A and B are shown apart, each in its own frame.
Chain A
Amino acid sequence: EDQVTQSPEALRLQEGESSSLNCSYTVSGLRGLFWYRQDPGKGPEFLFTLYSAGEEKEKERLKATLTKKESFLHITAPKPEDSATYLCAVQANSGNTPLVFGKGTRLSVIA
């Protein structure tokens, strides 16, 4: 069974304090690993898709990396507006399979 575990559940950072969020996964052949950001009361907003180990993608203060067992979302010099829940999901490489999500990491950035 495909599984995704995100850690920590919650993270509190001071503005400018860089950190990383972890997403560990087990999947029967990875088609893609997705990162989303979700603000309270809203739907998930797409950030990145990673397809193979060693791949990295960046967007503003965020950088996502992928290994064969986990992905990291690095946040450099975060700002209060980066506060949100960050969701990781995997899609298996077998037919038309749905995304399997982790429970998310709730990030709070304090000014």
Chain B
Amino acid sequence: KAGVTQTPRYLIKTRGQQVTLSCSPISGHRSVSWYQQTPGQGLQFLFEYFSETQRNKGNFPGRFSGRQFSNSRSEMNVSTLELGDSALYLCASSSGRAQDTIYFGEGSWLTVV
């Protein structure tokens, strides 16, 4: 079956702009999580959505937001981009049940110039 799909794969934005990233989870999965990966900090949790509700949130500023649609697809938005937001943004999906496997997409590479 199809894996986790993220779009776009690569993008370049200018400081101060905003960006929207999209994630389609594995069919049947209702939980979508977002992570930011940088060389210095590793993978850091942004937020998780389950059945269109934010179930958990990491320690990121309010410029980072997300949402989930009724078909479980999710988007994350970063407003007023800063140079430090340059990173690989990873989406992960699971059924949302305890002890379920969590699968990652290929990520969206964001460069802020």
Is B one of A's binding partners? yes
User: Could you say which of A14-22, A56-64, A95-103 contacts chain B?
Assistant: A95-103
A36 touches B104 (CB 8 A): yes
Q: In the complex where A43-B107, A96-B48 touch, is A49 in contact with B99 (Cβ < 8 A)? A: yes
Other-chain contact of A97, B43, B56, B101, B105 (Cβ < 8 Å): B56
Q: How far is the CA of A32 from the CA of B33 in the complex (A)?
A: 17
Q: Is A104 an interface residue (CB 8 A)?
A: yes
Closest Cβ neighbor of A42 among chain B residues = B106
Name the interface size band of chain A: 20 to 34
- Shortest distance in angstroms between B31's beta carbon and chain A's nearest beta carbon? 8
Other-chain contact of B103, A41, A46, A96 (Cβ < 8 Å): A46
Q: In the complex where A45-B104, A98-B33 touch, is A104 in contact with B56 (Cβ < 8 A)? A: no
Q: Is A44 an interface residue (CB 8 A)?
A: yes
Task: Indicate with 1 or 0, residue by residue over B1-41, a CB within 8 angstroms of chain A CB atoms.
Answer: 00010100000000000000000000000000101000000
Closest Cβ neighbor of B43 among chain A residues = A101
- Shortest distance in angstroms between B36's beta carbon and chain A's nearest beta carbon? 11
B56 touches A98 (CB 8 A): yes
Q: How far is the CA of A104 from the CA of B88 in the complex (A)?
A: 15
**Chain B contacts to A: CB under 8 angstroms:** 4, 6, 33, 35, 42-45, 48, 50, 55-56, 58, 90, 92, 96, 98-99, 101-107, 109
